[in-house]
Amino acid sequence: MDPRFGSRFCILFFLTCSLISGFTFVGAQNQRPKNVQVAIRAKWSGTPLLLEAGELLSKESENLFWEFIDGWLPVAKTEGGSHSAKDCLVKILKHGSSLFSESLASLFEFSLTLRSASPRLVLYRQLAEESLSSFPLSDDSYSHNVSEGDASEAVGTKKLDPLLVGVNLRSPHGKCCWVDIGEELFFDVAELQSWLQRHTEIGDSFQQPELYEFDHVHFDSNIMSPVGILYGALGTECFREFHLTLVQAAKEGKVKYVVRPVLPSGCEGEVGPCGAVGAMDSLNLGGYGVELALKNMEYKAMDDSTIKKGVTLEDPHTEDLSQEVRGFIFSKILVRYH
């Protein structure tokens, strides 16, 4: 055999196999199911899963909420290293499920996966925004570098601005926690302790911040004591310091301790590896579905320019009754029995 013919035959055989395998590969790709994944995203930015877990526990019992905080404080202080979002979710579920009975633990996991407590945290975020707006700071966006008269007008405008609902608030002066007593904001624990001492000695009366049914009031608080609302996120060092101070003050009857969990923007690095999981991502709303219905519409064209005598558009299926159908002539039957 001619060697040139053999080489040409090998090349032709190789090209044929390549084409067949290519068509097979393309055909396999075309046979893949074309799935359509639809997700409905919330208008607000993400909220931390750790804070959502606390809100879910509070729906069952307020005592569970405070037990969750007290149980997580030593965990947040000792945890270190890098954790994936999945590891943090398992850790949060394990910590929260330990406070539930076995029958409710699965429901707690399901609710946390659906992110059903996220709207409550958005509400706390708006209340925190109003708290900061009530006392405009000199060097951030809340004062807008305007006079006192214009500042009050700007604050009122900001509260009514619907575009700010889904935007997370910035940390004021780089602080991640503060306490609102109605007449003043405390960003340092030393300032709060000084006020608690002065209040005990002087006993001043002032307008206290408004509370709502969904607020978390510490069980040791005296209802007649002045209100102190802590804005902050579980897992930060400032939250731990403020929390321990306010719990002790509540036991002594000096303050009515309230917590509104918020994680201001810029404080994600202060809550530990698991404290900010869910806050940086867009929030997909669970429990919603989209149905795509397709309908095949076929039409037949009919020429109605010429209408036969005795045939109308309302009766287009008139048949000839004089024809014999299985031995019966219906026209004669109609004449006979008419």
The domain segmentation of the chain, as residue ranges, is: 43-284
Residue 234's contacts (CB-CB under 8 Å, 6 or more residues apart) are: 50, 51, 54, 69, 72, 73, 76, 261, 271, 275
Residue bearing tokens 């009122």: 156
Q: How confident is the model at residue 44 (pLDDT cuts 50, 70, 90)?
A: confident
Average pLDDT over every residue of 2-11: 52
pLDDT of residue 15: 52
Which runs of E-coded beta strand occur in 128-262? Answer: 178-180, 185-186, 216-217, 227-232, 256-261
If you average pLDDT over residues 7-16, what whole number do you get?
53
Lowest-pLDDT range of 83-97, 129-143, 231-245: 129-143
CA distance 80 to 67: 22
In this predicted model, what pLDDT tens digit does every residue of 262-281 receive, in sequence order? Answer: 999 888 888 888 888 888 87
User: What is the rounded CA–CA span in Å between residue 268 and residue 244?
Assistant: 22
Q: Are strands 227-232 and 256-261 parallel, antiparallel or unpaired?
A: parallel
pLDDT higher at 296 or 286: 286
- State the greatest distance between any 2 C-alpha atoms of the chain, in Å, as a whole number: 118
Render pLDDT for 225-263 as a digit per residue (tens, 0 to 9): 999 999 999 999 999 999 999 999 999 999 999 999 999
pLDDT score of 142: 39
Of 321, 229, 211, 233, the closest CA to residue 277 belongs to 233
CB-based contact 51:279 (threshold 8 Å): no
